[in-house]
Amino acid sequence: MRASRLVALLLLLQARGGMTAAELAEELEVSVRTVHRDVEALGAAGVPIYAERGPHGGIRLVDGYRTRLTGMTSDEAEALFLSGIPGPAAELGLGTVVAGARLKVLAALPPELRGRATRLLERFHLDAAGWFRSGEAVPHLSTIAECVWEGRRLEIDYDRGDTIVTRTLDPLGLVLKAGTWYLIAQHDDQLRTYRISRVMGVAGQAEKAQRPEGFDLAAYWAESIATYEREAPRLEVTVRVRRDAYRRLEDVFSAAVIASARDVPDADPEPDTWRRVVLTLDWPREAAGKLLAMGTSLEVLEPPSLRAEVGALAIAVAARYAASESDAAPATEEPFAGARA
């Protein structure tokens, strides 16, 4: 416990240049007396650490001193290498930077930790994108990321679906959610979220971006997700699903929808073949199309309006394909060879 605390103390001083004993005590969650004892122990071990008195004093390391990462635990080393996701880093224009940083950390690790970190890379791989998704095109992501990092305003052309608008933004942060990149920015004194794949053009500005005092990106995103999930329109739907196709629901609906499914026991006349459940679906406008994707393996029972909508959509789809087959049919009355027994 003390060894890891000493390493943490060293890294804090190395990162911040100097801190008071009270600041170190707060960061390390120990007493000021313990901090002074740790500083004495480090000095006795040969670490060039010293304390300055006075209003601008504090505990510091000699300029130029850098500790090697030999204080890393095996869990910390493994977590560090597992956290590097090469795809998103490359999209940000940081692929070679991440690779170089990994090599430097790997070289600094003691032999026993180096072996564990290397083995982790050989046996684990993180893929942030969802299934059947090659990833959205984000050609402007690196430029946006540069403006976010440097705190400069940017101008974007944004596709809202019905029109393309031009916005001058104060960029505040980037978020990667389920393989999709989002920009959090301020526009007209309001915080807004922009999907990076819908940015059609971007130009960085020389003017400094205005950042709201106390803005916390992680807290803002967590609150946004909670609000989105809480306020999204929902619809309860009763369906019967073939038991041998029930797992296909996972390919059509989100994990939250599957988790919300409630069985209706003893309600189906063919309980060995069909399973009757109540699903809570997000975005009712999209429900009919998603339910139809299950084909004849699913039947909508309630509400009647949705059942009618699915039925009408199925008829329209069948009519479209029937018309296509009629247009492509040969002039001869000879039956299609593939239909012969």
DSSP-derived 3-state class of residue 291: helix
Residue 322 binned pLDDT confidence (cut-offs 50, 70, 90): confident
Q: Could you tell me what percentage of the chain is helix, strand and coil, using 3-state DSSP and rounding each to the nearest 5?
A: 50, 25, 30
Residue 306 binned pLDDT confidence (cut-offs 50, 70, 90): very high
Q: List phi, psi (to 5°) of 325.
A: -65, -35
For the segment 161-207, what is each residue's pLDDT rounded down to a tens digit? 889 999 999 999 998 887 788 999 999 989 999 999 999 999 999 99
Direct distance between the N- and C-terminal alpha carbons of the chain, in angstroms, rounded to an integer:
78
Tokens standing for residue 118: 């290397």
Who's near 186: CB < 8 A, 6+ residues apart? 169, 170, 172, 192, 209, 210, 211, 212
What is the third-level CATH fold of 234-326? Answer: Alpha-Beta Plaits (3.30.70)
Residue 14 binned pLDDT confidence (cut-offs 50, 70, 90): confident
CB 236 within 8 A of CB 280: yes
Nearest alpha carbon to residue 241 among 226, 228, 255, 251: 251
C-alpha Rg value of the chain to the nearest Å: 30
Please check the confidence at residue 296 and state whether its pLDDT lies above 70. yes
Longest CA–CA span in the chain (Å) reads 103
Under CATH, which architecture does the 141-229 domain have? Roll (2.30)
Q: Where are the domains of the chain?
A: 2-67, 70-123, 141-229, 234-326
303 prior amide bond cis, ω within 30: yes
Residue 83 binned pLDDT confidence (cut-offs 50, 70, 90): low
Q: Given this model, what pLDDT does residue 269 score?
A: 87
Sign of CA dihedral 94, 100, 103, 109: negative
Angle in degrees, CA 169, 173, 174, rounded to 5 = 110
For the segment 121-160, what is each residue's pLDDT rounded down to a tens digit? 667 666 666 665 556 788 898 899 889 989 999 999 999 9
Please check the confidence at residue 328 and state whether its pLDDT lies above 60. no
Please check the confidence at residue 238 and state whether its pLDDT lies above 90. yes
What is the third-level CATH fold of 2-67? Answer: Arc Repressor Mutant, subunit A (1.10.10)
Write the DSSP string, 108-177.
HS-HHHHHHHHHHHHH-----SPTT------TTHHHHHHHHHHTEEEEEEEE-SS-EEEEEEEEEEEEEE
Q: Given this model, what pLDDT does residue 335 score?
A: 43
Nearest alpha carbon to residue 47 among 16, 19, 14: 14
Averaged pLDDT, 219-245: 90
CB 51 within 8 A of CB 59: yes
Give the DSSP letter of residue 314. Answer: H
